[in-house]
Amino acid sequence: MTNRREPLLLFIVDIAFFLAALWLTLLLRYFVLPDINTFYNHLLPFSFLFGSSVVVFFIAGLYDKHAVLFRGKLPRTILNAQTVNIIIAALFFFFIPYFGIAPKTSLGIYLIVSSALILFWRLYLFPRLVTRRQQKALLIGAGEEMEELKKEVNSNPLYPVLFVETIGSAFPLPEFVRSVQERVRKEGIAIVVCDTSDEKIGRALPRLYDLVFHGVRFIDAAQMYEEIFDREPLSLLEHRWLVENISTAPRATYDFAKRVIDVIAGGALGALSLIAYPFIALAILFDDGGPVFIVQERVGEGGSLIQIVKFRSMRVRERERVTRVGKFLRALRFDELPQLLSVVAGEQSLIGPRPELPEYVKLYAEQIPYYNVRHLIKPGLSGWAQIQNITPPKFEVQYEATKRKLSYDLYYIKHRSLWLDIKISLKTIKTLLSRSGI
């Protein structure tokens, strides 16, 4: 579990260090304490750099809750983000001299000082602020996702809990209840995390709730798993979860705003992408002489069938062989540019679960619980699963990969909002830039 206030704390203190870096920059640049007028003259143009830095940091994942945990990746991530900020700052100050200053020396000093301060803050100060005494916890349940939860929590001391015991539900009910009670008393357990989807555990819970009078707190394992991994644990879900969290009722404000964004942004991107069409078409024709476009049938909202148009990236007679041009198109997602038309038409959205082939949907729906829930909303060009660095199933039926992808799709459907859509959009930009080698 992570404190949801920590990203806000990171943001506020980052801004404070940006301001401190500007003050130190002026001190080092002129070797005198900067007066108030000098500071404010530089503050307005540098405020743009502060804002762009926050956006770049967000795209780089530096405000994700997991950024709090994975310290080993921080130096490289921060330095990469600052490299992007250098490019943005150069474009802003030297090509748009609106403020009448082109602070080459000051800018160089600022980027060095701000990088040093942010590294010091993120690596050394912040962990000391958020480190909490770990409470002993008991994990009740079994299965792959319960083991994954235990491994993740116990491998990082920044989580506020530590699993000291794990109990399965294989014992007879009276023995199971006694075992839990004894271990809670013996180990000084403060938190019990339980798989409420397990029938036996569900029957045992009424007999265990007396432990709350001894200061023991109960947490649903599925809720904890979702908070840590940002996806739904399929094996821990029960029908009650579907009733409480998934609804076909429209969210009027969100649905309207999202549709407006799809039309405006999809139309603008579609019109802009027309510039690239002739070049992509010529590249495909010169590569193997086959057709430029392909039309595929996919499953859309409500299980309806939709037609999507793509630039062809595979050989005509060899479905699993990507062409040379196709590798480039797929890396930058250029093969999907024609789908912007279906976004404007309302068959797809910019953000949503990726549409699947009908023959695959039939097989997955028969074998994977809750699979058809992903069809409650429009499919999208990019989605929560696509930005999680998972390898999507391709060319064949892959149940395990599809289950993992579905766990992210269900998380998105449950939590969908304009803020989450913006987050996915920014992360998609990061993914495309990393694929292009930038």
Q: How much is the pLDDT for 433?
A: 74
Residue 192 bridge partners (DSSP): 138, 218
Domain stop point among 240, 270, 305: 240
Q: How much is the pLDDT for 233?
A: 92
Same domain, 235 and 293: no
d(CA 192, CA 184) in angstroms, rounded, equals: 8
Q: How much is the pLDDT for 143?
A: 86
Same domain, 113 and 142: no
**Residue at 33 is within a domain:** yes
2 contact partners, CB below 8 Å, separation of at least 6: 65, 66, 68, 69, 158, 159, 227, 228
Same domain, 73 and 151: no
Fill in the DSSP letter of residue 302. G
**Residue at 235 is within a domain:** yes
**Residue at 431 is within a domain:** yes
d(CA 399, CA 389) in angstroms, rounded, equals: 18
332 contact partners, CB below 8 Å, separation of at least 6: 432, 435, 436
Same domain, 310 and 329: yes
d(CA 255, CA 412) in angstroms, rounded, equals: 14
d(CA 298, CA 264) in angstroms, rounded, equals: 24
Cβ burial, residue 379 (10 Å; 0-12/13-18/19+): buried
Rounded to 10 deg, the angle between the 36-59 and 104-120 helix axes is 60
Decide if 110 contacts 46 (C-beta within 8 A): yes
Q: Look up the CATH number of the domain holding residue 178.
A: 3.40.50.20
**Residue at 56 is within a domain:** yes
Fill in the DSSP letter of residue 124. I
The two structure tokens encoding residue 368: 């994977």
Distances from the Cα of 58 to the Cα of 10, 53, 77, 371, angstroms:
11, 8, 11, 31
**Residue at 104 is within a domain:** yes
Closest CA to 292 of 282, 306, 305, 304: 282
d(CA 182, CA 186) in angstroms, rounded, equals: 6
Sign of the dihedral through C-alpha 340, 344, 348, 350:
positive
Domain stop point among 176, 209, 240: 240
Same domain, 99 and 193: no
What CA dihedral angle connects 103, 106, 112 and 114, to 10 degrees? -90
How many Cβ atoms are within 10 Å of 228's Cβ, its own excluded? Answer: 19
Same domain, 58 and 186: no
Same domain, 429 and 306: yes
Decide if 164 contacts 138 (C-beta within 8 A): yes
d(CA 20, CA 25) in angstroms, rounded, equals: 8
d(CA 359, CA 323) in angstroms, rounded, equals: 24
Element (H, E) at 273: helix 252-273
Q: How much is the pLDDT for 266?
A: 95
**Residue at 246 is within a domain:** no
Same domain, 394 and 301: yes
Looking at the chain, how many residues does it have?
A: 438
Residue 194 bridge partners (DSSP): 140, 220
Same domain, 18 and 108: yes
> Which pLDDT tens digits describe the chain residue by residue (438 residues)?
556 678 888 999 999 999 999 999 999 988 888 888 888 888 888 888 899 999 999 988 888 876 655 566 788 888 888 888 888 888 877 766 655 555 667 888 888 999 999 999 988 888 888 766 788 999 998 888 899 999 988 887 778 888 988 888 777 888 888 889 999 999 899 999 999 888 888 888 898 988 999 889 999 999 899 988 899 998 888 777 777 777 655 678 899 999 999 999 999 999 999 999 999 999 999 988 889 999 999 999 999 999 999 999 888 765 568 889 988 998 888 999 999 999 999 999 999 999 999 999 999 999 999 999 999 999 999 999 988 866 666 667 889 899 999 999 999 999 999 999 999 999 898 888 776 545
Same domain, 181 and 45: no
Decide if 350 contacts 381 (C-beta within 8 A): yes
Decide if 205 contacts 379 (C-beta within 8 A): no
**Residue at 245 is within a domain:** no
Q: Give how far the C-alpha of residue 198 lies from the chain's centroid of Cα atoms, to the nearest Å.
A: 29
What's the total number of domains in the chain?
3
Give 3-state DSSP helix, strand, coil % of the chain, rounded to 5. 65, 10, 30
Amino acid found at 191: I
100: domain range?
6-130
| b/e per residue 188-199 (b: at least 16 CB within 10 A) | ebbbbbbbbbbe
Strand-pair category, 135-140 with 305-311: unpaired
Domain stop point among 89, 107, 130: 130
**What is the value of pTM for the model shown?**
0.83
Same domain, 391 and 258: yes
Cβ burial, residue 355 (10 Å; 0-12/13-18/19+): buried
Decide if 111 contacts 81 (C-beta within 8 A): no
d(CA 78, CA 256) in angstroms, rounded, equals: 37
**Residue at 302 is within a domain:** yes
Same domain, 319 and 337: yes
Sign of the dihedral through C-alpha 36, 41, 43, 46:
negative
